[in-house]
Amino acid sequence: MDCGRVRTLVHRYCAGEENWVDSRTIYVGHREPPPGAEAYIPQRHPDNRIVSSKYTFWNFIPKNLFEQFRRIANFYFLIIFLVQLIIDTPTSPVTSGLPLFFVITVTAIKQGYEDWLRHKADNAMNQCPVHFIQHGKLVRKQSRKLRVGDIVMVKEDETFPCDLIFLSSSRGDGTCHVTTASLDGESSHKTHYAVQDTKGFHTEEDIDGLHATIECEQPQPDLYKFVGRINVYSDRSDPVVRPLGSENLLLRGATLKNTEKVFGVAIYTGMETKMALNYQSKSQKRSAVEKSMNVFLIVYLCILISKALINTVLKYVWQSEPFRDEPWYNQKTESERQRNLLLRALTDFLAFMVLFNYIIPVSMYVTVEMQKFLGSYFITWDEEMFDEDTGEGPLVNTSDLNEELGQVEYIFTDKTGTLTENNMEFKECCIEGHVYVPHAVCNGQVLPGAAGIDMIDSSPGPGAREREELFFRALCLCHTIQVKDDDDVDGPRKSPDGGKSCVYISSSPDEVALVEGVQRLGFTYLRLKDGYMEILNRENGVERFELLEILSFDSVRRRMSVIVKSITGEIYLFCKGADSSIFPRVIEGKVDQIRARVERNAVEGLRTLCVAYKRLTPEDYEGICTLLQAAKVALQDREKKLAEAYEQIEKDLILLGATAVEDRLQEKAADTIEALQKAGIKVWVLTGDKMETAAATCYACRLFRRGTQLLELTTKRLEEQSLHDVLFELSKTVLRHSGSLTRDNFSGLSADLQDFGLIIDGAALSLVMKPREDGSGGNYRELFLEICRNCSAVLCCRMAPLQKAQIVKLIKLSKEHPITLAIGDGANDVSMILEAHVGIGVIGKEGRQAARNSDYAVPKFKHLKKMLLVHGHFYYIRISELVQYFFYKNVCFIFPQFLYQFFCGFSQQTLYDTAYLTLYNISFTSLPILLYSLMEQHVSIDTLRREPSLYRDIAKNALLRWRVFIYWTLLGVFDALVFFFGAYFMFENTTVTSNGQIVTTNTHMIFGNWTFGTLVFTVMVFTVTLKLALDTHYWTWINHFVIWGSLLFYVVFSLLWGGIIWPFLSYQRMYYVFIQMLSSGPAWLVIILLVTVSLLPDVLKKVLCRQLWPSATERIQSTRVRGQDRLPELTLLASPQSPSPWAVWLGPHTERGTPTWPPLAGLLHRHRPPGPAPHGWTADGQASGPRL
Residue 829 marked as a ligand binder:
yes
On whether 804 is known to bind a ligand per the annotation, the reply is: yes
Give whole-number Cα distances, 110 to 65, 107, 601, 804, in Å.
13, 5, 59, 40
Q: Read off the amino acid at residue 855.
A: D
Q: Give the DSSP per-residue string, 1121-1139.
A: HTT--S-TTSPPPS-----
Q: Is 576 annotated as a binding residue?
A: yes
Residue 1128 has pLDDT above 70, yes or no: no
User: Are 1009 and 901 a contacting pair, CB within 8 Å?
Assistant: no
**pLDDT (0 to 100) of residue 498:** 43
Amino acid at 559: R
Average pLDDT over residues 65-82: 82
Per the DSSP assignment, residues forming a β-bridge with 529 are 532
Q: For the residues of 477-537, what is the DSSP string, one character each?
A: HSS--EEPPGGGSSS--B-TTSSB---EE-S-HHHHHHHHHHHHTT-EEEEEETTEEEEE-
The b/e string for 929-952 (b: 16+ C-beta within 10 A; e otherwise) is bbbbbbbbbbbbbbbbbbbbbbbb
Residue 1121 has pLDDT above 60, yes or no: no
Helix (H) or strand (E) holding 182: helix 181-184
Nearest to 975 by CA among 933, 927, 1031, 1016: 1016
Residues whose CB falls within 8 Å of the CB of residue 454, separated by 6 or more in sequence, listed in order:
436, 437, 438, 439, 442
pLDDT per residue as tens digits for the range 227-263: 899 988 887 667 888 899 888 999 998 889 888 999 9
Q: What secondary structure letter does DSSP report for 606?
A: -
Average pLDDT over residues 297-318: 88
- Tell me phi and psi for residue 139, to 5 degrees: -125, 140
| Burial tier of 739 (Cβ tally within 10 Å: 0-12, 13-18, 19+) | exposed
Query: ∠153-155-161 over CA atoms, to 5°?
Result: 60
For 423-662, which CATH superfamily applies? Calcium-transporting ATPase, cytoplasmic domain N (3.40.1110.10)
What's the confidence (pLDDT) of residue 197?
86
Nearest to 873 by CA among 950, 785, 815, 821: 950
Mean per-residue pLDDT, 895-903: 90
Do 379 and 396 form a contact (C-beta atoms < 8 A)? yes
State percent of the chain over pLDDT 90.
25
Give tens-digit pLDDT for 122-134: 888 889 999 988 8
Q: Range with the lowest mean pLDDT among 283-297, 303-317, 684-698, 747-761?
A: 747-761
1008 is in an annotated binding site: no
Distance CA 230, CA 242 (A): 5
689 annotated as ligand-binding:
yes
pLDDT at 153: 94
pLDDT at 663 over 60: yes
**Contacts of residue 1145, Cβ cutoff 8 Å, sequence gap at least 6:** 1155, 1166, 1167, 1168, 1169
**Widest Cα–Cα separation across the chain:** 126
Residue 415 annotated as part of some ligand binding site = yes
- pLDDT given at position 443: 37
pLDDT one-digit tens code per residue, 880-891 = 999 999 999 999
473 annotated ligand-binding residue: no
CA 931 vs. chain centroid, Å, equals 25
SS3 374: helix
Higher pLDDT pick, 1169 / 781: 781
Number of Cβ atoms within 10 Å of the Cβ of 816 = 12
Q: Cα separation of 270 and 130, whole Å?
A: 14
CA angle 759–763–766, rounded 5-degree value: 100
Residue 1122 labelled as part of a binding site:
no
User: What is the torsional sign of CA 1021, 1023, 1029, 1031?
Assistant: negative
Report which of 411, 944, 416, 420 is spatially closest to residue 701, judged by C-alpha positions: 420
Contact 865, 676 (CB under 8 A): yes
pLDDT digits 0-9 by tens, 592-608: 999 999 988 888 888 88
pLDDT of residue 1150: 36
Closest CA to 244 of 276, 212, 221: 212
More confident residue, 592 or 20: 592
Residue range 29-54: average pLDDT?
76
Amino acid letter for position 922: I
Q: Answer with the residue of higher pLDDT: 1026 or 923.
A: 1026
Tell whether domain 675-799 is in CATH 3.40.50.
Answer: yes
> Coil, helix or strand for 1070?
coil
Q: What is the pLDDT of residue 673?
A: 93
Distance, in Å, from the CA atom of 798 to the CA atom of 804, rounded to the nearest integer, reads 10
Pairing verdict, β 682-686 and 708-713: unpaired
What is the pLDDT averaged over residues 414-431? 86
Is a pLDDT exceeding 80 seen at residue 817? yes
Q: Is 671 annotated as a binding residue?
A: no
Q: Residue 402 CB: number of other CB atoms within 10 A?
A: 28
Flag whether 414 is marked binding.
yes
Q: Is 592 annotated as a binding residue?
A: no
- Residue 966's pLDDT is 93
Confidence at residue 406, expressed as pLDDT on a 0 to 100 scale? 92
What mean pLDDT value characterizes the chain? Answer: 79
Q: Where are the beta strands (DSSP E) in 295-418?
A: 395-396, 410-413
pLDDT score recorded for residue 155: 92
For residue 566, give the H/E element and its range.
Answer: strand 559-566
Percent of the chain with pLDDT over 70: 80
Q: What share of the chain is helix, strand, coil (3-state, %, to 5)?
A: 45, 20, 35
Strands 129-134 and 249-250: unpaired
Average pLDDT over every residue of 774-794: 79
> Which residues are known to be catalytic?
414
For 1084, list phi and psi in degrees, rounded to 5: -60, -40
Domains 423-662 and 675-799 share a fold: no
Please tell me whether 651 is known to bind a ligand. no
- As beta bridge partners, residue 411 has 683, 821
Is 652 labelled a binding residue? Answer: no
The per-residue pLDDT for range 1001-1022, each reduced to its tens digit, is 444 445 677 888 889 999 999 9
Q: How far apart are CA 162 and CA 938, in angstroms?
A: 52
- Beta-carbon count within 10 A of 158 CB: 16
- Spatial contact of 946 and 679, defined as CB atoms under 8 Å apart: no
Predicted pLDDT of residue 594: 92
What's the first-to-final CA gap in the chain, in angstroms?
72
828 vs 333, higher pLDDT: 828
Rounded Cα–Cα distance for residues 303 and 297 (Å): 10
What's the confidence (pLDDT) of residue 1120?
59
Q: Which residues, 6 or more positions from 212, have their beta carbon under 8 angstroms from its beta carbon?
A: 28, 198, 230, 231, 232, 233, 239
Count CB atoms within 10 A of the CB of residue 1044.
Answer: 13
Strand partners, 132: 139, 152
C-alpha–C-alpha distance, residues 827 and 391, integer Å: 21
- Give 19's pLDDT tier (boundaries 50, 70, 90): very low
Say how far apart CA 990 and CA 1188 lie, in whole Å: 60
pLDDT tens by residue, 149-192: 999 999 998 999 999 999 999 888 888 888 887 776 666 678 88
Query: What are the boundaries of each domain within the chain?
Result: 20-48+146-277, 52-128, 297-360, 423-662, 675-799, 884-1095, 1140-1188
* Confidence class for position 691, pLDDT limits 50, 70, 90: confident
Q: Comparing 701-715, 935-949, 995-1009, 1074-1088, which segment has the lowest mean pLDDT?
A: 995-1009
**Where is average pLDDT lowest: 156-170, 207-221, 562-576, 714-728?**
714-728
Task: Centre a 10 Å sphere on the Cβ of residue 973 and count the other Cβ atoms it contains.
Answer: 15
Select 20-48+146-277's CATH number: 1.10.630.10, 2.70.150.10, 3.40.50.300, 1.10.10.60. 2.70.150.10
Contact criterion met (CB below 8 Å) for 131 and 138? yes
Q: Indicate the SS3 state at residue 561.
A: strand
The band of 449, judged by pLDDT with boundaries at 50, 70 and 90, is very low
